[in-house]
Amino acid sequence: MPTRSSRSHFLAGLLGALVIALPLTGLAIGGAFSSSSNAPSGAAAVSPSAAGSSSKAPAAAAAPARSATDVSALYERVSPGVVSVVVSGAQGSGSGSGFVIDREGHILTNDHVVDGAQTVRVRFEEGAPVAARVVGVDPSTDLALLKIDPAGRELRPLALGSSSALKVGQPAIAIGSPFRLEGTLTTGVISALERSINAPNDFSIDGVVQTDAAINPGNSGGPLLDASGRVVGINAQIATSTQANSGVGFAIPIDTAKQILPQLKSGKEIKRAYLGVESGDAETGTGAVVGAVVPGGPAAAGGLRPGDRIVSIAGRAVAGSSDVSAAITGLRPGQEVKVGVRRGGDERTLTVKLGTRPAQAQPG
């Protein structure tokens, strides 16, 4: 497993995604979080009679029908494959969630859940905690792969779906251990697609799935499921001003995880192409406006300047800043690419030899 400098991950606030006004908070839980919650002062339980209905119960009350939103059967089928992840290290203890992906004992979770951990244990629905080791990590996607000894265990891997065909409004189901409350299920919908959030190393994670299913500290690394119980995302962050759920949660697309799983299993460092610019959306028209160029980086060597408007990379049109990251993601370190820019009133094409992404994003 590649080594890197230790970062604080317990109560980590992963801030700065441009598309979200509220802070984005990683969902690993450390000792400073309280497991209690306070109900709103105006909240009250309303009985049928208090709501103005007759005190006589309707005939159907004795045998309620299963509603279309009843996911109890799905929960019974899927929950044995969801685990609580408990870690300890020099900075204290913390916890998150994860899920089994195969019968060999591999468990997927978030990188920020296990970063800096000296010991890792996972807890299933039943039985004592099980020792796990970190096989591979990828801070750029906030993903980590654990492994336990499968001997003598009847593991129940979760089916991996696809995030590419998701649509806004489709059902979304989260299972995890918020506030260390293991096996908690919440439901909602896919509320938006193609969001961008910051990874633990401050690079951008694109194509992120947004949901209003309640996720809270401790849900990190748990699965976001579709109506069939297939994993479509890995819960990672929330937009909040209170460190608790406000109806806006974010999950790493499962397709992103599937792309790097072979490398995570091998324990090899995942190398990515690197351009070396900070950019934002143009106020008018299309393109990504370069705000800063990393000194000595590939973009600087290729002639990009602050104020340039990037309109294409390697023949791929750039409509906004998220397209810059998406275009570079599909390329290789060392590859030479044509970057189309507008500078002043002129359009020009620059040739840039891409570098290798550093361990941490570098300010321009």
pTM, 2 dp: 0.76
What is the assigned CATH class of domain 273-356?
Answer: mainly beta
pLDDT at 21: 37
CA–CA dist 195, 197 (Å, integer): 7
Active site residue 112: yes
Active site residue 9: no
Q: Which of 84, 97, 111, 112 is catalytic?
A: 112
What is the assigned CATH class of domain 1-28+73-270?
Answer: mainly beta
Active site residue 102: no
Q: Please state, rounded to an integer, the average pLDDT across all residues of the chain.
A: 82
Segments of the chain with pLDDT less than 50? 1-23, 29-68
* Domain coordinates in residue numbering, the chain: 1-28+73-270, 273-356
Other CB atoms within 10 A of residue 13 CB: 14
User: What single-letter amino acid sits at 134?
Assistant: V
Residues 6+ apart with CB under 8 A from 243: 11, 25, 33, 217
pLDDT at 321: 87
Cα angle 190, 194, 200 (rounded to 5 degrees) comes to 100
pLDDT at 3: 39
pLDDT at 47: 24
Q: Which of 191, 220, 312, 322 is catalytic?
A: 220
pLDDT at 326: 85
